[in-house]
Amino acid sequence: MSINKPFSGKYILEKYCEVGKIEGLQLEINRKLYLNEKTLRPKLVKINKLNKIIAQLVALIAREIK
């Protein structure tokens, strides 16, 4: 696990959140988790699992910031 590699991050948050004075969260997901990089075919089972995990994370964050 690494932070800010290979991307420096924060561009999206600066562009869309800082200017509008709203809070934001940027989450980057390794392509290997959802894409066969040799064939470029999506791993549908993995995508569905990631969708569920992300939905749970968003729900948890929403409950915590109320």
Q: What residue ranges do the domains of the chain occupy? A: 11-65
The Cα diameter of the chain in Å comes to 43
DSSP 42: E
**Site of tokens 């109320």:** 66
Per-residue pLDDT reduced to its tens digit, 17-34: 877 788 888 888 889 999
CA neighbours closer than 13 Å in the CB half-sphere of residue 55: 6
Among the ranges given (12-16, 32-36, 38-42), the one the predictor scored with the smallest mean pLDDT: 12-16
pTM for the model: 0.68
Q: Which residues pair with 42 in a beta bridge?
A: 35
